[in-house]
Amino acid sequence: MKKILFVCHGNICRSPMAEYVMKDLVKKAGLEDELQIASAATSREEIGNPVYPSARRKLAEHGISCGGHAACQLRNSDYEEYDLLIGMDRANLRNMYRICGGDFNDKMHLLMEYAGRPKQEVADPWYTDDFDATWLDVLAGCRGLPRPFEMRGRVNDGWIN
Protein backbone atom coordinates (compact mmCIF):
# COMPACT_ATOMS: atom_id res chain seq x y z
CA MET A 1 0.00 0.00 0.00
CA LYS A 2 1.29 3.45 -0.93
CA LYS A 3 0.89 6.33 1.52
CA ILE A 4 0.45 10.03 0.75
CA LEU A 5 0.60 12.83 3.32
CA PHE A 6 -0.62 16.31 2.34
CA VAL A 7 0.88 19.16 4.35
CA CYS A 8 0.03 22.84 4.86
CA HIS A 9 0.59 25.38 7.64
CA GLY A 10 -2.36 24.66 9.92
CA ASN A 11 -4.02 21.50 8.54
CA ILE A 12 -7.46 23.11 8.50
CA CYS A 13 -7.81 24.39 4.89
CA ARG A 14 -5.57 23.28 2.03
CA SER A 15 -4.08 19.99 3.21
CA PRO A 16 -7.37 18.55 4.49
CA MET A 17 -9.05 19.68 1.26
CA ALA A 18 -6.38 17.73 -0.64
CA GLU A 19 -6.74 14.76 1.70
CA TYR A 20 -10.49 14.47 1.26
CA VAL A 21 -10.47 15.24 -2.47
CA MET A 22 -7.85 12.53 -2.97
CA LYS A 23 -9.78 10.07 -0.82
CA ASP A 24 -12.86 10.76 -2.95
CA LEU A 25 -10.93 10.24 -6.22
CA VAL A 26 -9.35 7.06 -4.88
CA LYS A 27 -12.72 5.69 -3.79
CA LYS A 28 -14.32 6.46 -7.17
CA ALA A 29 -11.39 4.76 -8.93
CA GLY A 30 -11.70 1.66 -6.72
CA LEU A 31 -8.17 2.05 -5.34
CA GLU A 32 -8.97 2.29 -1.64
CA ASP A 33 -6.93 -0.84 -0.91
CA GLU A 34 -3.87 0.60 -2.68
CA LEU A 35 -3.56 4.10 -1.23
CA GLN A 36 -3.64 5.53 2.28
CA ILE A 37 -4.12 9.29 2.45
CA ALA A 38 -3.75 11.70 5.38
CA SER A 39 -2.81 15.32 6.07
CA ALA A 40 -0.81 17.29 8.61
CA ALA A 41 0.38 20.77 9.58
CA THR A 42 3.84 22.25 9.87
CA SER A 43 2.69 24.43 12.79
CA ARG A 44 0.99 23.69 16.11
CA GLU A 45 -1.47 26.59 15.87
CA GLU A 46 -4.57 24.59 14.95
CA ILE A 47 -3.82 21.19 16.52
CA GLY A 48 -7.08 19.36 17.26
CA ASN A 49 -9.26 21.75 15.26
CA PRO A 50 -11.67 20.56 12.56
CA VAL A 51 -11.57 21.60 8.90
CA TYR A 52 -12.15 25.35 8.57
CA PRO A 53 -15.88 26.03 7.93
CA SER A 54 -15.39 27.59 4.47
CA ALA A 55 -13.21 24.65 3.38
CA ARG A 56 -15.78 22.22 4.79
CA ARG A 57 -18.54 23.99 2.82
CA LYS A 58 -16.49 23.87 -0.39
CA LEU A 59 -15.94 20.13 -0.01
CA ALA A 60 -19.63 19.60 0.79
CA GLU A 61 -20.60 21.46 -2.41
CA HIS A 62 -18.90 18.61 -4.24
CA GLY A 63 -20.38 15.86 -2.10
CA ILE A 64 -17.22 15.27 -0.07
CA SER A 65 -17.41 14.82 3.70
CA CYS A 66 -14.54 15.72 6.01
CA GLY A 67 -16.18 14.92 9.32
CA GLY A 68 -13.98 13.71 12.14
CA HIS A 69 -10.89 15.59 10.99
CA ALA A 70 -8.65 16.95 13.74
CA ALA A 71 -5.58 18.96 12.75
CA CYS A 72 -2.29 17.28 13.62
CA GLN A 73 1.34 18.23 13.21
CA LEU A 74 3.87 16.63 10.87
CA ARG A 75 6.37 14.47 12.77
CA ASN A 76 9.91 13.50 11.86
CA SER A 77 8.81 9.84 11.73
CA ASP A 78 6.25 10.64 9.01
CA TYR A 79 9.11 10.80 6.52
CA GLU A 80 9.71 7.06 6.89
CA GLU A 81 6.02 6.20 7.14
CA TYR A 82 4.84 7.93 3.93
CA ASP A 83 5.86 7.42 0.31
CA LEU A 84 5.01 10.99 -0.68
CA LEU A 85 4.80 14.13 1.46
CA ILE A 86 3.14 16.89 -0.51
CA GLY A 87 3.29 20.53 0.51
CA MET A 88 0.93 23.23 -0.64
CA ASP A 89 3.52 26.02 -0.90
CA ARG A 90 7.26 26.64 -0.64
CA ALA A 91 7.07 27.75 3.00
CA ASN A 92 5.41 24.41 3.82
CA LEU A 93 8.14 22.58 1.94
CA ARG A 94 10.90 24.41 3.85
CA ASN A 95 9.23 23.54 7.15
CA MET A 96 8.75 19.95 6.05
CA TYR A 97 12.50 19.68 5.35
CA ARG A 98 13.21 21.17 8.79
CA ILE A 99 10.84 18.86 10.66
CA CYS A 100 11.91 15.73 8.79
CA GLY A 101 15.60 16.56 8.67
CA GLY A 102 15.78 16.80 4.89
CA ASP A 103 14.50 14.86 1.90
CA PHE A 104 17.01 12.11 1.26
CA ASN A 105 14.68 9.91 -0.82
CA ASP A 106 12.98 12.60 -2.96
CA LYS A 107 9.62 12.12 -1.24
CA MET A 108 8.74 15.81 -0.76
CA HIS A 109 7.04 17.75 -3.52
CA LEU A 110 4.61 20.59 -4.13
CA LEU A 111 1.08 19.59 -5.11
CA MET A 112 1.01 21.80 -8.18
CA GLU A 113 3.93 19.85 -9.68
CA TYR A 114 1.37 17.13 -10.38
CA ALA A 115 -0.91 19.61 -12.14
CA GLY A 116 1.90 20.48 -14.55
CA ARG A 117 2.48 23.82 -12.80
CA PRO A 118 5.70 23.26 -10.80
CA LYS A 119 6.32 26.94 -10.05
CA GLN A 120 2.80 27.57 -8.76
CA GLU A 121 1.63 27.16 -5.18
CA VAL A 122 -1.85 26.13 -4.05
CA ALA A 123 -3.84 29.30 -3.46
CA ASP A 124 -4.06 29.96 0.29
CA PRO A 125 -7.69 30.75 1.16
CA TRP A 126 -6.76 31.77 4.70
CA TYR A 127 -5.53 35.06 3.26
CA THR A 128 -7.61 35.36 0.08
CA ASP A 129 -10.91 33.82 1.24
CA ASP A 130 -11.06 32.39 -2.31
CA PHE A 131 -11.95 28.77 -1.67
CA ASP A 132 -12.96 28.34 -5.31
CA ALA A 133 -9.37 28.95 -6.46
CA THR A 134 -8.07 26.59 -3.80
CA TRP A 135 -10.58 23.93 -4.84
CA LEU A 136 -9.45 24.16 -8.48
CA ASP A 137 -5.76 23.95 -7.53
CA VAL A 138 -6.28 21.01 -5.18
CA LEU A 139 -8.43 19.12 -7.67
CA ALA A 140 -5.92 19.62 -10.50
CA GLY A 141 -3.02 18.49 -8.31
CA CYS A 142 -4.83 15.46 -6.93
CA ARG A 143 -5.95 14.36 -10.38
CA GLY A 144 -2.33 14.33 -11.48
CA LEU A 145 -1.01 12.43 -8.47
CA PRO A 146 -1.31 8.80 -9.58
CA ARG A 147 1.59 9.14 -11.99
CA PRO A 148 4.29 8.60 -9.35
CA PHE A 149 2.55 5.40 -8.35
CA GLU A 150 2.34 4.09 -11.92
CA MET A 151 -1.43 3.71 -11.65
CA ARG A 152 -2.21 6.21 -14.39
CA GLY A 153 -2.48 3.57 -17.10
CA ARG A 154 -4.70 1.26 -15.04
CA VAL A 155 -7.35 3.84 -14.22
CA ASN A 156 -6.68 6.34 -16.99
CA ASP A 157 -10.18 7.50 -17.91
CA GLY A 158 -11.85 6.63 -14.62
CA TRP A 159 -9.40 8.62 -12.53
CA ILE A 160 -10.20 12.14 -13.65
CA ASN A 161 -13.90 11.77 -14.44
pLDDT tens-digit readout, 115-158: 999 899 998 998 899 999 999 999 999 999 864 455 434 443 33
Q: Using N-to-C axis directions, what is the helix angle for 131-144 and 53-61, rounded to 10°?
A: 60
Looking at every residue in the chain, the average pLDDT score rounds to 90
What global pTM score does this model have? 0.91
Per-residue pLDDT tens over the stretch 26-49: 998 888 888 899 999 999 999 999
Is-catalytic flag, 130? no
* pLDDT for position 146: 62
Angle CA 143–138–121, to nearest 5: 115
Choosing from 13, 14, 56, 100, which is the catalytic residue? 14
What domains can be seen in the chain, in order of their start residue? 2-160 (3.40.50.2300)
Is-catalytic flag, 142? no
Choosing from 8, 13, 66, 142, which is the catalytic residue? 8
Choosing from 24, 78, 124, 137, which is the catalytic residue? 124
Q: What is the DSSP string of 144-157?
A: HTTGGGT-HHHHHH
The residue among 4, 1, 2 whose CA lies nearest residue 85 is 4
Residues present in the chain in total = 161
Q: Does the pLDDT of residue 17 top 80, yes or no? A: yes
Is-catalytic flag, 8? yes
Distance CA(82)–CA(97), nearest Å, equals: 14
